[in-house]
Amino acid sequence: MSVTLERKKVTVPALMAMKQRGEKIAALTAYDFLLANFLDEAGLDLVLVGDSVAMVFAGHETTLPITLEEIIYHTRAVRRGLKNALLVADLPFLSYQVSPEQAVLNAGRLLKEGGAEAVKLEGGSIMAETIRRLVQIGIPVIGHLGLTPQSINAFGGYALQAAHEASARRLLEEAVQLQEAGVFAIVLEKIPATVAREVTQVLKVPTIGIGAGPHCDGQILVTHDMLGLFEKFKPKFVRRFAEAGKLIREASAAYREEVKAGKFPTEQESY
């Protein structure tokens, strides 16, 4: 028996209300129309065009090289695939840190040209003024704390963040400042579950965890990680819900064999 869920468009206020109801937020990334459409049909609440596109789609070593133009291109494609999920696009490295004016122009392009409904940016209190400006002109913002991949060169690697009392306290303070600046949600990446639980309890806006344990108001993963498509490395927090990489390799090898053996195409597959 197949059950068709009656789904409503997820908006920013609707997403915030999920925290009040105690309903978990399910979020994933997408960079293209087809995958976005699958995620929407599966009932995901939020789809992020993450700057992780730099690594898992474009093959870069870090998220830093991806450009605003490229994120706009991917956001447009994802827009065409979504009906109900909230579409959020990442502001890539150096597209918002220079000044609030730069952030307004570039976040505005993600909405105007890409069709995003909100943007995500990395960083703590230093981003407060920028967030205020964006929110004032009607651009909803998600914050991102903990392991912020655009700062990989400063971190020197992908280590656990907020692992000590002082850094955990600082992260909590930064989260409160982001909330005061007007974010409607905060992504918490690779921090201890106890720290994420405290941040989640203190904040009114939802927390969306990635490697931040089970107490966040929602979870996000890179879709290519959770489908087993990106096999280069697998952090502990990634659960593979499929082995799509293996499936594609096997299907491609089977195709190759049949072509080489003259078994594809058959008469039935010919005109």
Which residues in this chain contact ligand KIV in the complex, by CB under 6 A?
Answer: 29, 48, 50-52, 90, 187, 210, 220, 222
Report the residue number, 50 or 114, with the smaller CB distance to ligand KIV. Answer: 50
Query: Got the DSSP string for the chain?
Result: -----------HHHHHHHHHHTPPEEEEE--SHHHHHHHHHTT-SEEEE-TTHHHHTT--SSSTT--HHHHHHHHHHHHHH-SSSEEEEEPPTTSSSS-HHHHHHHHHHHHHTT--SEEE---SGGGHHHHHHHHHTT--EEEEEES-GGGHHHHTS---SS-SHHHHHHHHHHHHHHHHHT-SEEEEES--HHHHHHHHHH-SSPEEEESS-TTSSEEEE-HHHHTT---S---TT---S--HHHHHHHHHHHHHHHHHTT-SS-STT--
Provide the minimum distance between the beta carbon of 48 and ligand KIV in the complex, in angstroms, as a whole number.
6
C-alpha closest to that of 62 among 184, 210, 233: 233
Provide the minimum distance between the beta carbon of 42 and ligand KIV in the complex, in angstroms, as a whole number.
17
Is 203 in contact with 182 (CB distance < 8 Å)? Answer: no
Report the residue number, 8 or 72, with the smaller CB distance to ligand KIV. Answer: 72
Report the residue number, 157 or 262, with the smaller CB distance to ligand KIV. Answer: 157
Query: By beta-carbon distance, which residue lies closest to ligand KIV?
Result: 50
Q: Which residues are known catalytic residues?
A: 189
Is 208 in contact with 188 (CB distance < 8 Å)? Answer: yes
Report the residue number, 134 or 222, with the smaller CB distance to ligand KIV. Answer: 222
Provide the minimum distance between the beta carbon of 220 and ligand KIV in the complex, in angstroms, as a whole number.
5
Is 12 in contact with 184 (CB distance < 8 Å)? Answer: yes
Provide the minimum distance between the beta carbon of 178 and ligand KIV in the complex, in angstroms, as a whole number.
15
Provide the minimum distance between the beta carbon of 128 and ligand KIV in the complex, in angstroms, as a whole number.
20
